[in-house]
Amino acid sequence: YTATFRAGGGNDDHDHDHDHPNLGWPWWAVVAAWWTALDAASSDLLGVSINVNVNEPSEPSCISSSSSSSSSSSWRFECGNFGLILLSEEHRDKVTSILRTMVQVTMMRGAQSGGVVTYYPSSQGSGNGYVGVRSRVTNGKRTDLSKLVTEKMVSDARGASLKYGRPKCPQVFAGHTRFATTSKASFEGTHPHQWTPKAVYDVFTLKTNLTTNQVSWVAATLPVEVFICHNGDLDFFEVAEVTHPLSSVQAWLTRATHSPMPATVDSCAVAGVMDLLRCQGVWYHSIRYGFLFGPSRSSLEYDMPTKAQFAEAAKVAQDIFETLAAEFIHTAHEASAQSSKTVPVISVAAEPLPALWAVGDEPIVKIIEPLISKLKDIFGASGSLGLTDVEDISMFVETAVRAFFYQDLITAVRDFMSHATGSFGLGVTSSLDTSRQMVMAARGQTISLAFYPAAGLVLYGSEQAAVKAAIGVHGIDDTGCKRLDLDDLGGEVALVDFGRLTNEAASATISRFAELNEHFQSVRDRSSSGSTQATYEHDHRLLSYETIIPNKDHQGRPAVEATITLHQEETQLATLFSKRLVTLTGNDMVLPLPPMLNADPVGSDIADIPRVCAKIHQDFQDTDLNALSALSLSRVLLQRISMLKGGSHDGSVDVLITGCEVSLWLGEQFAADLSAAFPKLIIQTMSANKVLGLWGQEFSIPQTGYQFHEDSWNLNKSIVIIVSHSGGTFSSLAVSNLLKAYTSNIFVVASEWDTQVGKQLRELSKDEGFADCKSRIFSTNIGLRPAEPCTLSVVATQQLLTEILLYLMSRVRRMGVEEISGGKYNDEDLYALNQSNAAHLNALELITGTDRMGKSNGSESAKELRDRGLYWGLHVLETPITWIMCFTYIMVTVVFGCPLVTGIAKTAGVKDGSTACYITLVLDGLIYVFNPQLNMLLLRVIQGRPLIHRLTGRTIVIGDVPWVSQALDAMCSKLFACSYSATHLTVLNGNPADHLVHRHTHRVVRGALLACGRPDGRLAALTNAENSVCLSVNQASSIQSLGGTCESLTIGHNPFKLPLSAHAVFLPDGGRKKFLC
């Protein structure tokens, strides 16, 4: 049948307030302003979204491959899959909380909209079927998507239970969160997607009584519908060996399914293709499949049969099939009985057939022959459908008949993956299979599955961390929980089958590969004795079949068994299934999820800084795993230095440091420090997106504005250090795979040992001998941190990079080759650096106000920093406070009919109608007109803040070395990302030792906020740097208007306040020497 399948297989912008009165605005501006106000009030206050539907062009809904060479976007948002398969009623009450945790983790990939689909038993048709219940929401700017999704799911579940009855186990919950790229974040574009609406069809299944082993064909009228969740992009789809663009495929799907396109996003087209491919047991779908994929065509533009014609042909095929049904059962019995003897695993001619559906060619021919003559009358008589050729009719019928028997869910997904161009993280469910099967697929996008055998749960998701959502949940036994990561590099499809029950009849087909289990066991046994290649030489065939949930629970009671069938598009992972599993519980290398519902995640992260940094420092003192990785790194670095000594250096880059956004900025500082220590080494930094643009594209992207191109750098055996907190950022993950072709000396700095990048790098060690084996992973051991503003992750990564630098300098010094690398440091320098590093750990406790145990220490320095932040917070809050004051004044004076000046005048005896009375009324009118400004000045007097600052929104400029100023810019702007216009804060950054004066001093206005980090000039190495910073602050603060200027703040260790700065905070040095030369 492979030969016959020719087709294959809104973001709210912050308002910038100006103190211009609302006079003379055009009508459209007034309407827009009121509409914005109404939208904000309804969405944020009432929870109602006001949407304006606009027809969008067909564009991808999710982005996966980094085609941008310029890394101006430092974080690439993507869609994300998540889901749960519930096999036991015992934990039904935990489903909502687990799913909410999974959504919270997956939201880090994007959270503009999300949804979940599950299935309920339906009496529609002849009963015993299932219908999908889809819950979708679009997220507001200040709402929690995880709460919206789960609340909508619970609400819809109540309605579904009243309509259909209680759901049954096993039950699938398939979900998705979306970050829109080229199309707006609309409700129609929200996953899960369905192309063809639910419809009722005649469905044939083989009912097997596992007690009596009796098999019988059962025909039922059941509702049929398919839902998919897709992370990635569908660019092209191949039909009849011709590749078609998305727009052509969408138009073709509309005609083939006789259903209008539900949404223009590409993922919806994936659902449409799956509607066409999943045909097993349904003659209508099989006839349609045969017509679409059987005859040879060069275009998708051809006449399509009507639904009535398809239905008529399906009725003819069904009648012929029913007359031969008993013969098919007999053949199926024979295939089932002989499968363990006659179906070899490796030498399968086309595909391993499902035993209960394996009918052989002879009975298929008995259907094909009469069906050809019948269908000629329906499709070939007029010739309008293009099937006048006998060969086309024959291919049409043969393809349709084979699709009826073999085109099940996993085959449909495999066919789609083999003929689709793009990247895919897929979760596919069908109402015909939901009680027994679900299929996931990964190519270019990650998918992980976790199996909880003691709890009867299967979790899956795009984020590795999401599948840990059930660990530690009260009442759930997570013993023996393991995770499987699908091969997203080569492509892999996974069928999770939970349709085999222990002591009752299974009314569905057993997994199409179940009877091959004994063969795989024998092959594994042979593999363990030395012939490991045997399992993996069957090109594009089944890889393995394994039991993941046993058929008895932890108390020995009968339970729903779950198995997994894996198929790789490219046979790259020559690893036994058990070796691919990662134990999630009782594993020191896998960190649990932190509390996801934290009222102050940023504050918690800051309080954890002293403990984490001290732990990282101690790891190197105790020669822990980080020290082992540093040893591996130092070995390859010494090899590069020896090439300089021997004159064999080929000019290739010695160290390439890459990453995205904050990780890249930290890497750039590390590269600068590394270059200072080893000047003769060639050390480069580059955004991971730029690396992909240069070396990861079929045609390299021009690096406009940059001095390098694909031939500038030689990466032969270079050391590559990837800095990625999550260890799963798309571009960083892609680079870890891409650069394997150039070097094996790849290392990663991440937040834990168990990450996607770490998994890829561990593959490198499998081909290395014991002497060459490297530990390639550095970890801050802080795990997942849900706070979007980066605090702890930045400080911990900087601490880890500092420890790595000191280790490398010490190791090179001990080997006596520092001069070869150009290093000019000595033992005293190393001692001073190590002492400063240790003192820095003490200072962190005083700066954060918490000790290494997480307890408050009452530090005065921490209090002073917070007090200064609260004071500047008053600048930001003065607009809403002024609004409240204006509201109070107007309401009081209007309600009581006594404006301030007029009231005072009347109390003093001024008569109504007198000249003095009119003067008081004019004064009261002026008070009303200038009420906001007057109240703002009054508020500043009360709070003791400068009076002559501009009456407008605030701007803060952060001045420090690049990685600090950029990281603080990102943190501060994210903290205010969801602020209302009245409390909006514009954040800028610059380097006061370089370009701050040129970039920002022309923006200095009264009330602008300038915060500068000030180096300690008492250290000889920092004297000039401190002088540059002081000069920049003085220049900015010297710009005057009406006697006022910017409000500047310096933060540093040197206890001397600049005369022109408004404030200064002096940080503790942790006991470091005051003066070092």
pLDDT in tens, 681-693: 999 999 999 898 8
Instruction: State the Cα–Cα distance between residues 64 and 76, nearest whole angstrom.
Output: 9
**Alpha-carbon distance 641 to 1051, whole Å?**
39
Count each helix (H run) and each strand (E run) in the chain, helices first: 29, 27
* Closest to 805 in 3D by CA, of 790, 781, 825: 825
And the tokens for 483? 């995770």
Instruction: With cut-offs at 50, 70 and 90, classify the pLDDT of residue 386.
Output: low
Give all strands of the β-sheet with 113-122 in edge-to-edge order.
Answer: 129-138, 113-122, 171-178, 80-86, 457-461, 448-452, 482-485, 582-583
Give the H/E segment covering residue 824: none
CB atoms within 10 A of CB 171: 20
Q: What's the CA gap between 930 and 553, in Å, rounded?
A: 74
Residue 722 is predicted with a pLDDT of 96
**17 pLDDT higher than 50:** no
Sign of CA dihedral 155, 156, 158, 159: positive
| Better-predicted residue by pLDDT, 787 or 988 | 988
> Which of the given ranges, 19-28, 116-125, 424-433, 488-497, has the highest pLDDT on average?
424-433
Euclidean distance between CA atoms 194 and 227, whole angstroms: 5
Is 260:268 a contact under the CB 8 Å cutoff?
no
> What is the distance between the alpha carbons of residues 961 and 666, in angstroms, rounded to a whole number?
11
Q: Which residues have C-beta within 8 Å of that of residue 1013, sequence separation ≥ 6?
A: 959, 960, 961, 964, 965, 1029, 1050, 1051, 1052
What pLDDT, on a 0 to 100 scale, did the predictor assign at position 496? 93
Question: What average pLDDT does range 142-166 have in this prediction?
Answer: 93
When pLDDT is averaged across residues 11-31 and rounded to a whole number, the result is 42
- Count, residues in the chain: 1077
pLDDT by residue (tens digit) across 863-908? 999 999 999 999 999 999 999 999 999 999 999 888 999 999 988 8
DSSP 220: E
- Give pLDDT, residue 719: 96
Count the neighbouring beta carbons within 10 Å of the beta carbon of residue 50. 11
By the 8 A CB rule, do 605 and 611 touch?
Answer: no
pLDDT at 335: 44
Q: Please, which pLDDT band fits residue 537 given cuts at 50, 70 and 90?
A: very low
- Phi and psi of 583, rounded to 5°? -75, 125
Beta-strand relationship, 719-723 and 655-659: parallel
Name 334's Cβ contacts closer than 8 Å, sequence gap at least 6: none
So what's the pLDDT on residue 434?
Answer: 93
Cis, bond preceding 295 (omega within 30 deg of 0): no
- In the three-class reduction of DSSP (H, G, I as helix; E, B as strand; rest coil), residue 203 is classed as strand
Nearest CA to 427 out of 407, 408, 410, 405 is that of: 410
Q: Report pLDDT for 45.
A: 46
The helix or strand, by DSSP H or E, that contains position 925, with its residue range, turns out to be helix 915-929
Backbone angles phi, psi at 205, to 5 degrees: -135, 160
pLDDT for residue 440? 96
- Residues 424-474 have pLDDT tens digits of 999 999 999 999 899 999 998 999 999 999 898 999 999 999 999 999 999
Question: Rounded to an integer, what distance in angstroms lies between the CA atom of residue 152 and that of residue 912?
Answer: 62
Tokens of 244: 């078609």
Which amino acid is present at 262?
P
Name which of 630, 624, 625 is nearest 810 in CA terms.
630
Mean pLDDT of 519-547: 42
Q: Which residues does residue 243 pair with via DSSP β-bridges, in sequence order?
A: 238
- Tell me what the mean pLDDT of segment 261-271 comes to: 94
Mean pLDDT lowest among 566-580, 979-993, 1041-1055 = 566-580
Of the candidates 1014, 612, 606, 610, the one whose C-alpha atom is nearest the C-alpha of residue 842 is 610
In percent, how much of the chain has pLDDT > 90?
Answer: 54
End-to-end CA distance of the chain: 79
Residue 500: the pLDDT is: 56
Which residue, among 147, 27, 58, 67, has the nearest Cα to 99 in the 3D structure? 147
Q: Which amino acid is at 1058?
A: L
Backbone angles phi, psi at 450, to 5 degrees: -125, 135
Residue 794: is it exposed, middle or buried by C-beta count within 10 angstroms (0-12/13-18/19+)?
buried
Q: 194 in helix, strand or coil?
A: coil
Round to whole Å and give the CA distance between 673 and 804. 11
pLDDT digits (tens, 9 = 90+) for 713-731: 889 999 999 999 988 888 8
Q: Supply the pLDDT for residue 1076.
A: 66
Q: What would the 3-class secondary structure string for 553-613 be?
A: CCCCCECCEEEEEEEECCCCCCCCHHHHCEECCCCCCCCCCCCCCCCCHHHHHHHCHHHHH
Confidence band for 109, pLDDT divided at 50, 70 and 90:
confident
Given a contact cutoff of 8 angstroms between Cβ atoms, the answer to whether 558 and 509 are in contact is no
Distance (Å) of CA 1070 to CA 33, 263, 569, 954, 1067: 53, 60, 57, 34, 9
Other Cβ atoms closer than 10 A to 309: 17
* pLDDT above 90 for 406: no
* Nearest of 428, 406, 433 to residue 417 by alpha carbon: 428
Alpha helix locations (H) across 351-496? Answer: 361-375, 390-406, 409-419
Distance between CA atoms of 952 and 906, rounded to whole angstroms?
36
pLDDT of residue 213 exceeding 90 = no
Sign of the dihedral defined by the CA atoms of residues 887, 890, 891, 892, in that order: positive
3-state secondary structure of 23: coil
Record the tokens describing residue 305, joined without a space.
């049969």
What does residue 318 show for φ and ψ, rounded to 5 degrees?
Answer: -65, -40
What does the pLDDT read at residue 502? 33
- 445: which DSSP letter? S
- CA–CA dist 67, 693 (Å, integer): 6
Question: pLDDT by residue (tens digit) across 828-863?
Answer: 999 999 999 999 999 999 999 999 998 999 999 999
How is residue 414 written in tokens?
């495999």
Measured CA to CA, the distance from residue 218 to residue 210 in angstroms comes to 16
Rg of the chain on CA atoms, in Å? 34
Do residues 545 and 521 lie in contact, with contact meaning Cβ atoms separated by under 8 Å?
no
Q: Give the C-alpha separation, 60 to 468, whole Å.
A: 30
How does 119-133 read in b/e, with b if 16+ C-beta sit within 10 Å?
Answer: bbbbeebeebbbbbb
What distance in Å separates the CA atoms of residue 504 and residue 879, rounded to the nearest whole number? 69
What value does the mean pLDDT of the chain take? 82
What local confidence, expressed as pLDDT, does residue 544 receive? 64
- What b/e readout covers 907-939, taking b as 16+ CB neighbours within 10 angstroms? eeebeeeeeeeeebeebbeebbeebbebbbeeb
**Distance in angstroms (rounded) separating the CA atoms of residues 94 and 76:** 32
- 17-26, 600-609, 744-753: segment of lowest average pLDDT: 17-26
The total of other beta-carbon atoms located within 10 Å of residue 562's CB is: 25
Q: Considering the entire predicted model, what is its pTM?
A: 0.82
Cα 862 → chain centroid? 35
> What sections of 186-324 are H helices per DSSP?
246-257, 266-277, 283-293, 307-323
- Assess whether pLDDT exceeds 50 at residue 504: no
